[in-house]
Amino acid sequence: MTAALLVQSAVIGLSIGSIYILMALGLTLMFGMMHIINFAHGAVYMLGAFAIYYVYFQWGAPYFAAFVLAMLLLGAFGYLVERSIYRPIKGGVEPTLVALLALTTLLQAAGYPVFGTLDKHVPPVFSGTRNVLGVMISVERLMIIPIAGALVVGLYLFINKTRIGAAMRAIEQDKEAAALQGVNVNVINGLAFAVGFALAAAAGALMAPIFKLDPMMGEQPLLKAFIIIILGGLGSIPGAILGGLILGLIDSIVATALGAEPAFLLSFVFIILVLLWRPTGLFGHAL
């Protein structure tokens, strides 16, 4: 592998890693508060990408308007899922996980009759290439990094500087105590669903112009996000960011050298080793 190829894979890994981070952050936030894993995250990513396809490409809205609309719509959908699935099950972890699995397969399968069986493509939003350390990288991929970075910073400020964020942290530490202090646990959980779904939608919306669109497109990013949060430790936001960067780089460099399938198998072996060596991940809390 030449130096140029290495730089190119690293930059692309950084942009893919940013997408993984957006996915993993929502998962880890929801896990921290509700101890559930949102299996529907991949399907929401897919819906975010299709929202771009219809709103931006078919109906001609500006890309950023379509982007914000996708986040808002799917955020509202997240709130609705909390209200209609998570809340009625009353915290039973297993039934909730299975219900979210069923929601995933429903959204994926319904995608075929609704969106059609042919792969869809969204034309590039940002054209041209830019010289990065002597390698040409498409602006399309480069732009993912600052947009995802802005969303991560926004999430950080939201969780650490706002009252709602404080309520989320309170629920994460002790749900009952938070409720006794006047935190409306149901509404805040609903907002966590909304934030998680909106971030997954953003990830899908960023990838829409780069990959082909089909109803199953969310599975790979979901699996990658699982690997990241196992690596970084469930419930840990710094862990998700670091895990996302590590996996993005491994993924891109190994995939360039050996192909995408060995890259996935390698990352799977990697998490099994991490679980053997450090069961709670790099930043995980004690169980």
Partner 1 sequence: MPSNARAATVFVAVVALLIALPFVGGDYYIYLFALVFINVILAASLRPSLTCGQLNIGHSAFMCIGAYTSALLAKNLGVPFEISLLCGALLAAVVGLAIGYPSLRLRGVYFAMVTVAFVEAIRLIASIWVPLTRGNAGLSVPKPSLLGMTLATRTSQYYLALVLMLIVLVILYKLERSRLGLVWKSIGMAENLAQSLGVDIANHKLLAFTLGCFFAGVGGAFYAHFIRFLFPPEFGFLLATNILVYNFVGGRGHFAGPVVGAVFLSLLSEPFRGSPYETIFFSIVMLLTILFLPGGLITLPGKLAGLRRWRPTSGTYAPPASA
Where on the chain is the footprint of partner 1 (CB under 8 A)?
31, 35-37, 39, 85, 88-89, 91-99, 101-103, 105-106, 108-113, 219, 223, 226-227, 229-230, 234, 261-262, 264-265, 268, 271-272, 275-276, 279-280, 287
CB of 91 to partner 1, least distance (A): 8
Judged by CB, which is closer to partner 1: 31, or 193? 31
On whether the CB atoms of residues 249 and 210 are closer than 8 A, the answer is no
Q: Name which of 37 and 142 has its Cβ closer to partner 1.
A: 37
Closest CA to 2 of 264, 256, 247: 256
List, in order, residues 6 or more apart from 36 with CB less than 8 Å away: 30, 86, 93, 96, 97, 100
> Toward partner 1, which CB reaches closer, 81 or 142?
81
Q: Minimum distance from CB of 185 to partner 1 (Å)? A: 16
Tokens encoding 277: 């060596």
Question: Which of residues 94 and 176 has its CB atom nearest to partner 1 in the complex?
Answer: 94
CB 110 to partner 1: min, Å: 6
Instruction: Indicate the residue among 21 and 99 with the shorter CB distance to partner 1.
Output: 99
In the complex, the smallest distance separating the C-beta of residue 99 from partner 1, rounded to whole angstroms, is: 5
